[in-house]
Amino acid sequence: MNKSKTFLCILLAIFCLLLLGPSSRILAQGTDHNRSGQVDQKITQIVLLGTGTPIANPFRSGPSTAIVVNGEPYIVDFGPGVVRRAAAAHWMGVKGLEVRNLRRAFVTHLHSDHTAGYPDLILTPWVMGRNQPLEVYGPEGIRDMTEHILTAYRQDIDMRLHGSEPANSEGYKVMAFEVKPGVVYRDSNVTVEAFAVNHGLWPQAFGYKFSTPEKTIVISGDTAPSENVVFHGSGCDVLIHEVYSQEGFERLTPAWQIYHSSYHTSSLELAEIASRARPGLLILYHQLFFGSTETELLREIQERYEGNVVSGKDLEVY
């Protein structure tokens, strides 16, 4: 490659990093970078595809976490931006997150910030070459949601199947499974267990426990303090848990305080949960700051919890 082409490649790489934003670069914790800057492929990788909330923060996509085992991705929740974040992680070195490889997903509950990326997850990997149905596991209602999405995009699907665009006849299909607490999925890479959590008035909301050959990973989903999180997260390698700032919460109106205290977990409550469960690493996601800063939220937890805790950001790999 001549000098001018090398220079252009460097400029393109810098532009892509700036476009993604400072908070969306891969910052590895427990995952090594090699000298080329790419992420070394461990047996198990945790990729934070989206750490946001319903707030339209340009640096935090909607909630979504990828567990990648032996290069096979398993997606938990599909908030806005899920496919683009997977593509960014693949571009940055997580080989298993090539878009057409997105074939299995688990949803914690059906709030829009956790599911607005569902049509994208169904259709874009198919357009990019996925040639088998997407498998989705979740609470009651996921089948209806799936059927309505496929109906809404019927013209698009028909045009791709019967127009001049080359397309396979399987990759847009979805096998949606409505699950109950217990083991909901198992293959040679993972065993996935769903457990009930308390997300206010939602009749069903789940957390998930992933057991891989080298790690145990627990994802809370959206939840008020839950004994099931303590039980399933006890001694796990990584606990990924939602949280809101207690100091910020105290500035809310009484109506919003009633809502958030019934549906979500405060920093003080999470410090107690983590102290009892004692995970190897606590990762905060779906963080509600309410005017507080990331540093202040971390301080609220660290003053009461002595374990290893980090504030998760989009595209971090653990």
At 10, the pLDDT band (50, 70, 90 cuts) reads very low
At 239, the pLDDT band (50, 70, 90 cuts) reads very high
Residue 40 has what pLDDT?
52
Could you tell me which residue, 241 or 17, shows the higher pLDDT?
241
How far lies 308's CA from each of 52, 146, 186, 279, 305, in Å?
21, 39, 29, 8, 8
**Secondary-structure class of domain 23-311 per CATH:** alpha beta
Find out whether 77 and 70 touch, Cβ atoms under 8 Å. no
In tens, the pLDDT along 97-141 reads: 999 999 999 999 999 999 999 999 999 999 999 999 999 999 999
In terms of DSSP H, where are the helices of the chain?
A: 3-20, 82-91, 112-115, 118-127, 142-152, 154-162, 227-233, 246-249, 254-263, 267-277, 294-302
| Vertex 210 angle, CA 98 and 137, to 5° | 70
Does position 36 have pLDDT exceeding 60, yes or no? no
Q: In the β-sheet with 281-288, what is the strand arrangement from edge to edge?
A: 182-186, 191-196, 206-211, 216-219, 238-244, 281-288, 309-311
The DSSP code for 35 is: T
Residue 182 backbone zone (phi > 0: left; psi -120 to 50: alpha; other: beta): left
pTM of the model: 0.88
CA dist 8 and 254 (Å) reads 55
Q: Which among 137, 115, 134 is positioned nearest to 172, based on CA atoms?
A: 134
Residue 41 has what pLDDT?
54
Q: Which among 217, 129, 135 is positioned nearest to 168, based on CA atoms?
A: 129
Residue 130 backbone zone (phi > 0: left; psi -120 to 50: alpha; other: beta): beta
Q: Which among 159, 69, 92, 171 is positioned nearest to 129, based on CA atoms?
A: 171
In tens, the pLDDT along 145-200 reads: 999 999 999 999 999 999 998 999 999 999 999 999 999 999 999 999 999 999 99
Does position 27 have pLDDT exceeding 70, yes or no? no
Residue 48 has what pLDDT?
98
Per-residue tokens: 143? 């089948």
CA dist 217 and 212 (Å) reads 8
Residue 4 has what pLDDT?
52
Find out whether 40 and 34 touch, Cβ atoms under 8 Å. yes
Give the rounded percent of residues in the chain with a pLDDT score beyond 70: 87
Could you tell me which residue, 33 or 119, shows the higher pLDDT?
119
Residue 11 has what pLDDT?
46
Residue 9 has what pLDDT?
47
Q: Which among 105, 305, 104, 92 is positioned nearest to 206, based on CA atoms?
A: 105
Mean pLDDT along residues 257-261: 96
CA dist 238 and 278 (Å) reads 10
The DSSP code for 113 is: H
Mean pLDDT along residues 9-18: 45
